[in-house]
Amino acid sequence: MARKRIIIVGTSFAGYTAALELKELVGDNHDITVVANTDRFLFFPSLIWYPFGLRQEKDITFDVRPVYDAHGIGFVQAEVTGFEPDRSRVLIKNGDSIEYDYLLIGTGPKVDYDYFPGLRENSFSIVGLKAAERTRAGWVRFLADPGPVVIASAQGAACFGAAYEFLFNVRYQIAKNDLEKKASLTYVTAEPFAAHFGIGGFGNARQMCEWMFTHYHIAARYDSVIKEVIPGGIVLESGETLPSRFTMVMPRFLGVDAVRNTPGLGNANGFIEVDDGYQHARWRNIFAAGVAVHVKPPGATKVPCGVPKTGYPTEQMAKTAVRNIVAEIKGDGAPKVAAKFDDMSAYCIMDTGNMGMIIVGDHMLAPREHEFIIPGPEAHWAKVAFEKYFLWSRRHAHV
Ligand SMILES: Cc1cc2nc3c(=O)[nH]c(=O)nc-3n(C[C@H](O)[C@H](O)[C@H](O)COP(=O)(O)OP(=O)(O)OC[C@H]3O[C@@H](n4cnc5c(N)ncnc54)[C@H](O)[C@@H]3O)c2cc1C
C-alpha cells in the first residue's frame, strides 16, 4: 500500500489525541505530521484557577515535541493561514505549503474580542494563557481596590461551564479575602435560565445554581445582550448599566481565520460542517474535530447561545475521525464509524472553588435517560485529581 501523508493541524485536545491515536493504528506505514502554532499542550480547564495565582504555566502545560519525537510523528511549528482543498495543501505563514493525502483540522476557536465595543480593553478573559495572565494582573489590582464584580457569558458564547466555574471561584476568593461587603457579584448571560449551558439545561443543575445564587447573594440577568463594556461596568441592550470594578466576559467563538480564509471549508462563522464521521461533505479527504466543528444548537433561545464543545466530546470526535481516515486509506469498503455529538456521553466537573458538581449523562443533548448532578466538596477534589491524571497521562502519550 502506498504511503499516505496525513497532516493534523492543532496540537490540543483534538489534534494531540488524533496524532497519537492515528500512530497507534497505522504504525510506521504512513507519515503523520502535526502542524501547530505552538509546541505546548495547555490544559484549558485549569485556567479558571490561574488568575488567582493557584496555578503556574509549568503546572498546566507541557512540550509536545518529545512525545511526537518518541513516537515518530513529525511536528512543524507554524501558523496555518489557509488551505487549498482542491490541491490538498495547507498554507503556512512564511509562504510555504505542505501537501497531504488526508487532513484533520483541530484548530479550536478564534475568540471574537471585537464583537462589541470595550470587550477587548475593558474586560478580562480566561480563554488562553495570555488572557488569563492579564486577568491575574487585573485581579491583583481588584484586591487592592475592590468593588462590584460582573461575570458574563456574552450573546453567542458557548463555553458556559467555564464562565460558571469562574463566577463561583470569584465568589470563593471574595469570601476568602473577606470582601463580601464591598464586592457584590452579578452574572450576566445570554442563557434563558441558570445552568442552561447552551444545551437546554442538564438534570437539576438549574435548581442547584439558583440555590447557589440565592445562598451566595449572586444577582443574575438572563436573556441579556451586552451593548458595551465600559471601564467602570457593563452596558446591556435593555438600557441597564451594571457598575463593575472587575469584569470577566466569556466571549463568543468563531472558527479560526485559516478556515474563514478558505472558501467552502467552513460556514459563515468559520466552523466546519462535517458528517457524524467528522468528514467534510465536499472534500472527503478532510476531517475536523473539536471546537473547529459546527454543532447545531438543540433549540432556539431568545438571545443566541452556542453549544459547548468540551474536552471529552472533542477527543471522541478526534478518535472517530482517525478511524475513518484509516478506513479510507484501507479502502476495503468497511463501514465508517459514526459518533453523533448529540448522542455522546456527557462528563464534566464544574468547580466552585471549594465545592462543585460532577455532571454525568448518557447523552450530550436531551433527551437523556440518565443524567446525574452530584454536588459537594468531593467534586472540587475530583477536578483537581482529574487535572493531575489528565496531564500525567497526556505527557506519557496515553490518549
Ligand atoms: C477557560 C476554559 C475552561 C474549560 N474547562 C473545561 C472543562 O472543565 N472540561 C471540559 O471538558 N472542557 C473545558 N473547556 C473546553 C476545552 O478546553 C475545549 O473543549 C478544548 O480545548 C477543545 O480542543 P480543540 O483541540 O478543539 O481546540 P483548542 O484546545 O483550542 O486547540 C486548538 C489547537 O490548534 C492550534 N491552532 C489554532 N489555530 C492555528 C493556526 N492558524 N495554525 C496552527 N495552529 C493553530 C492551537 O495552537 C491549538 O494547538 C474549557 C475551555 C476554556 C476556555
> Using a 6 Å cutoff on CB, does residue 291 contact ligand 1?
yes
**pLDDT tens digits, one per residue of 328-380:** 999 988 889 999 999 999 999 999 999 999 999 999 999 999 999 999 999 99
Residue 162 φ/ψ, nearest 5 degrees: -65, -35
pLDDT band at 1 (very low <50, low <70, confident <90, very high): confident
CA of 299 to the centre of ligand 1 (A): 24
Strand residue runs (E) in 3-108: 5-9, 31-36, 40-42, 61-63, 74-77, 80-84, 89-92, 97-99, 102-105
Q: How confident is the model at residue 72 (pLDDT cuts 50, 70, 90)?
A: very high
Is residue 5 scored above 90 in pLDDT? Answer: yes
Nearest CA to ligand 1 atom 44: 36
pLDDT digits (tens, 9 = 90+) for 272-327: 999 999 999 999 999 999 999 999 999 999 999 999 999 999 999 999 999 999 99
Task: Yes or no: say if 398 and 315 are a contact pair by the CB < 8 Å rule.
Answer: no
Cα separation, 317 vs 311, in Å, equals 10
The alpha carbon of 324 and the centre of ligand 1 are apart by a number of angstroms equal to: 22
pLDDT digits (tens, 9 = 90+) for 11-37: 999 999 999 999 999 999 999 999 999
172-181, long-range: CB within 8 Å, 24+ apart, which pairs?
172/352, 172/353, 172/354, 173/52, 173/139, 173/353, 174/146, 174/149, 177/143, 177/146, 179/143, 179/146, 180/217
Percent of the chain topping pLDDT 70: 100
pLDDT at 327 (0 to 100): 95
Percent of the chain having pLDDT more than 90?
A: 98
* DSSP per residue, 168-213: HHHHHHHHHTT-TTT--EEEEESSSSTT-TTTT--TTHHHHHHHHH
Average pLDDT over every residue of 231-250: 98
Q: Is 242 a residue whose pLDDT tops 90?
A: yes
Q: Whose CA is nearest to atom 35 of ligand 1?
A: 10
Confidence at 224, pLDDT banded by 50, 70, 90? very high
pTM of the model: 0.98
Task: Report the nearest-CA residue for atom 27 of ligand 1.
Answer: 108
Would you state the pLDDT for residue 332?
Answer: 84
Does any ligand 1 atom lie closer than 6 A to the CB of residue 259? Answer: no
Strand partners, 356: 351
Distance 12 CA to ligand 1 centre (A): 6
Q: Residue 320: its pLDDT value, please?
A: 98
Q: What is the largest CA-CA distance in the chain?
A: 71
Q: Using the mean position of ligand 1's atoms as its centre, give its distance from the Cα of residue 215 in Å.
A: 33
**pLDDT tens-digit readout, 246-273:** 999 999 999 999 999 999 999 999 999 9
Give all domains of the chain, ordered by start, each with its CATH number. 5-111+253-342 (3.50.50.100)
Arithmetic mean of pLDDT over the chain? 97
Q: What is the pLDDT of residue 50?
A: 98
Atom of ligand 1 minimally distant from the CA of 258:
41
For atom 6 of ligand 1, which residue has the closest CA?
A: 45
